[in-house]
C-alpha cells in the first residue's frame, strides 16, 4: 500500500491487504483455533483479562481500607492513568520494532512484579505513597501491552479467521467482566483487597508462561540505514494522519469516551443512588456486560462485508442509557438500554479490530494503533473533570441527556466519509455477502 493516498480519498487497497496478510510466515488458515500459537495467545489473553477484571474493585477497596480517603484512591488511579497515556505512542514503536511475544512476556512479568508490590503494601499496611510509583509502573506496562496485543492477530490467522479470532478474544474479555468483579468482591470481603491484587499478580505470571510458548517470527533485520525509533514513530503518524477513515473514528471516540466516562462512570452512580439504588445500578452494569458477551458470541458467525456503517449506527444506542439516566428511568428501562449498548459496543469493537487487522500493514499496526488509542483515551481526564463541573451548573439530568445527544452526533459524523463506509472485509469462500 502506498505510504499516503490522495487526501480525502483514502480507501483501503485490497492488494495491500493481501500483502499484509501474507507478510509473515506464521500465517495459518481461516480457523484460528487450529493454530497452537493462537491457542497459547488466547490462553494468555484470557488469564490477563481475568486478573485485570478483578483488579479495579480490589484496588479501590484495598486503598480505602488502608487510607480511608477517596483523595488517596484518586491519586493512585491518576498515577496509573497518566503514565499509560504518556507512554502509549512510544509503546507502539516498541511493539513494531521487536518480537511481540517477547514484549508480552516481559510486560507480563513486569506487571506481575508491580502488582505483587501493590499487594504487599496493602497487606502489610505500609504508607500509601508507596502505591504511587507501583501504580505508575502498572500504567507503563499497560501502555506497552495494548498496542502489542493489537498487532498480534494478523500474524496468527488470515481472511475471515481474523474476525473469528477477534470475537474469541472479545468473548473471553467479556466473560471475565461478568465473573471477575464478583470473584474480586468475594476475595475482598473474605480476605481483603490485598489478596485479590496478589491473585492478579499471579495471573500475570501464568500469562507470561503462556506467551512464552508462542512462536512469532523475528522482525526484519535492521541495517545501518534503518530509521531510528523517532523516525519509525513519524512513519506511523504519517500513515495515521493521511487516512481520514482512521482518524475520523479516533476523534469520534475521543468525544464519546470523554462524555461517557464522565456521565456514566461519575454521574451514573450519583443519579442511581437517588433513583434506582445501588442494587439497581449493579443490575444495570450486569446487563451491559451480558449484552457485550452476547454480541461477541454472535460475531463468531455474523460476517458483514461492509461493517463500519452498521457498527457506527449501532453505537448510537450507547447514548440511550445516558438519556434514560437523565430522565430518571426505571431499572428495567435502564437495564434494557444498557444491554443494547453492550451489544452495540462489542459489535463495533470486533468490527473495528478486524478492519484494522485486514487493512493496516502488519509492520505499522502497533504504531498506528498507538496513535488511535492515544487519541481515543487522552480526552478521558478532561471528561472526568468537566462533566461534574457542568453538572454543578446545569444539573445532572441536563448534562446526562445532553451527553447522550453529543455521542449520537459523534458516532454518525464519520459516516460522511465514503472511504469509511466502503471498507470491506473478506468473507469465507462460497459465503454470500451480508451487506447491511
The 3-class secondary structure across the chain, one letter per residue, is CCCCCCCCCCCCCHHHHHHHHCCCCCCCCCCHHHCHHHHHHHHHHHHHHHHHHHHHHHHHHHHHHHHCCHHHHHHHHHHHHHHHHHHHHHHHHHHHHCCHHHHHHHHHHHHHHHHHHHHHHHHHCCCHHHHHHHHHHHHHHHHHHHHHHHHHHHHHCCCCHHHHHHHHHHHHHHHHHHHHHHHHHHHHHHCCHHHHHHHHHHHHHHHHHHHHCCCCCCCCCCCCCCCCHHHHHHHHHHHHHCCHHHHHHHHHHHHHHHHHHHHHHHHHHHHHHHCCHHHHHHHHHHHHHHHHHHHHHHCCCCCCCCCHHHHHHHHHHHHHHHHHHHCCCCHHHHHHHHHHHHHHHHHHHHHHHHHHHHHCCHHHHHHHHHHHHHHHHCCHHHHHHHHHHHHHHHCHHHHHHHHHHHHHHHHHHHHHCHHHHCCCCCCCCCCCCCCC
Q: What is the pLDDT of residue 58?
A: 78
- 152 within 8 A of 102, measured Cβ to Cβ: no
To the question of pTM greater than 0.95 for the whole model, the response is no
The span from the first CA to the last CA of the chain, in angstroms, equals 27
Reading the block at residue 110, the C-alpha cell is 513486569
Report pLDDT digits (tens) over 159-185: 768 888 888 888 888 777 777 666 777
- At residue 436 the predicted structure's pLDDT band, cuts being 50, 70 and 90, is very low
Distance from C-alpha of 422 to C-alpha of 435, rounded to nearest angstrom = 11
Residue, of 74 and 37, whose pLDDT is higher:
37
Distance from C-alpha of 268 to C-alpha of 276, rounded to nearest angstrom = 11
- 407 within 8 A of 319, measured Cβ to Cβ: yes
Q: Compute the mean pLDDT over every residue in the chain, rounded to the nearest whole number.
A: 82
Q: Counting every residue, how long is the chain? A: 436
Residue 398 pLDDT > 50: yes
CA torsion 344→345→349→352, rounded to 10°? 60
Distance from C-alpha of 323 to C-alpha of 319, rounded to nearest angstrom = 6
Residue 272 pLDDT > 60: yes
Phi, psi of 137 (to 5 degrees): -60, -45
Residue 17 pLDDT > 50: no
Distance from C-alpha of 290 to C-alpha of 96, rounded to nearest angstrom = 34
Residue 241 pLDDT > 70: yes
- 26 within 8 A of 215, measured Cβ to Cβ: yes
Burial classification of residue 387, based on how many CB atoms lie within 10 Å of its CB (0-12 exposed, 13-18 middle, 19 or more buried): buried
Q: What is the pLDDT of residue 324?
A: 92
Q: What is the pLDDT of residue 14?
A: 41
Q: Which residues contact 74 (CB under 8 A, 6 or more apart)?
A: none
CA 382 to chain centre: 19
Residue, of 389 and 31, whose pLDDT is higher:
389
Reading the block at residue 430, the C-alpha cell is 462460497
Reading the block at residue 377, the C-alpha cell is 483515551
Residue 260 pLDDT > 70: yes
Reading the block at residue 19, the C-alpha cell is 500483502
Residue, of 345 and 59, whose pLDDT is higher:
345
CB atoms within 10 A of CB 388: 16
Distance from C-alpha of 45 to C-alpha of 58, rounded to nearest angstrom = 20
Report pLDDT digits (tens) over 50-90: 887 778 777 877 887 888 776 787 788 788 888 888 888 88
**Torsion-angle region of 157 (φ positive above 0: left; ψ -120 to 50: alpha; else: beta):** beta
Amino acid at each position: 500500500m502506498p505510504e499516503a493516498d490522495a487526501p480525502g480519498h483514502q480507501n483501503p487497497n485490497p492488494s495491500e491487504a493481501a500483502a499484509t496478510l501474507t507478510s509473515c510466515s506464521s500465517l495459518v488458515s481461516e480457523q484460528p483455533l487450529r493454530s497452537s500459537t493462537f491457542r497459547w495467545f488466547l490462553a494468555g489473553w484470557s488469564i490477563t483479562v481475568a486478573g485485570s477484571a478483578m483488579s479495579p474493585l480490589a484496588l479501590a477497596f484495598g486503598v480505602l481500607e488502608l487510607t480511608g480517603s477517596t483523595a488517596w484512591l484518586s491519586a493512585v488511579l491518576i498515577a496509573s492513568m497518566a503514565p499509560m497515556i504518556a507512554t502509549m505512542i512510544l509503546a507502539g514503536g516498541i511493539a513494531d520494532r521487536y518480537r511481540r511475544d517477547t514484549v508480552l512476556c516481559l510486560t507480563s512479568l513486569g506487571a506481575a512484579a508491580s502488582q505483587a508490590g501493590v499487594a504487599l503494601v496493602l497487606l502489610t499496611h505500609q504508607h500509601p505513597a508507596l502505591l504511587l510509583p507501583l501504580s505508575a509502573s502498572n500504567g507503563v506496562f499497560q501502555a506497552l501491552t495494548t498496542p502489542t496485543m493489537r498487532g498480534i492477530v494478523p500474524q496468527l490467522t488470515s481472511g475471515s479467521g481474523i474476525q473469528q479470532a477477534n470475537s474469541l478474544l472479545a468473548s473471553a474479555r467479556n466473560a471475565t467482566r461478568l465473573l471477575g468483579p464478583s470473584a474480586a468482591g468475594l476475595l475482598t470481603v473474605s480476605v481483603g483487597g490485598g489478596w485479590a491484587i496478589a491473585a492478579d499478580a499471579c495471573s500475570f505470571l501464568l500469562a507470561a508462561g503462556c506467551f512464552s510458548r508462542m512462536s512469532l517470527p523475528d522482525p526484519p533485520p535492521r541495517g545501518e540505514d534503518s530509521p531510528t525509533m523517532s523516525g519509525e514513530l513519524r512513519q506511523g503518524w504519517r500513515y495515521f494522519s493521511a487516512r481520514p477513515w482512521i482518524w475520523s473514528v479516533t476523534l469520534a471516540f475521543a468525544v464519546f469516551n470523554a462524555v461517557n466516562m464522565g456521565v456514566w462512570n461519575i454521574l451514573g452512580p450519583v443519579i442511581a443512588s437517588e433513583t434506582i439504588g445501588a442494587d439497581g445500578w449493579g443490575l444495570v452494569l450486569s446487563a451491559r456486560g451480558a449484552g457485550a458477551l452476547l454480541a461477541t458470541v454472535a460475531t463468531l458467525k455474523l460476517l458483514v462485508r461492509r461493517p463500519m456503517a452498521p457498527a457506527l449506527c449501532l453505537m448510537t444506542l450507547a447514548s440511550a442509557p445516558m438519556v434514560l439516566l437523565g430522565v430518571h428511568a426505571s431499572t428495567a428501562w435502564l437495564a434494557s438500554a444498557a444491554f443494547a449498548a453492550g451489544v452495540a459496543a462489542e459489535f463495533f469493537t470486533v468490527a473495528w479490530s478486524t478492519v484494522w487487522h485486514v487493512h493496516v500493514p502488519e509492520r505499522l499496526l502497533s504504531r498506528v494503533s498507538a496513535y488511535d488509542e492515544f487519541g481515543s483515551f487522552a480526552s478521558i481526564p478532561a471528561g472526568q473533570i468537566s462533566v461534574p463541573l457542568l453538572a454543578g451548573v446545569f444539573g445532572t439530568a441536563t448534562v446526562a441527556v445532553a451527553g447522550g445527544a453529543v455521542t449520537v452526533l459523534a458516532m454518525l459524523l464519520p459516516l460522511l466519509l465514503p472511504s469509511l463506509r466502503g471498507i470491506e472485509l473478506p468473507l469465507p469462500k462460497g459465503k454470500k455477502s451480508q451487506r447491511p
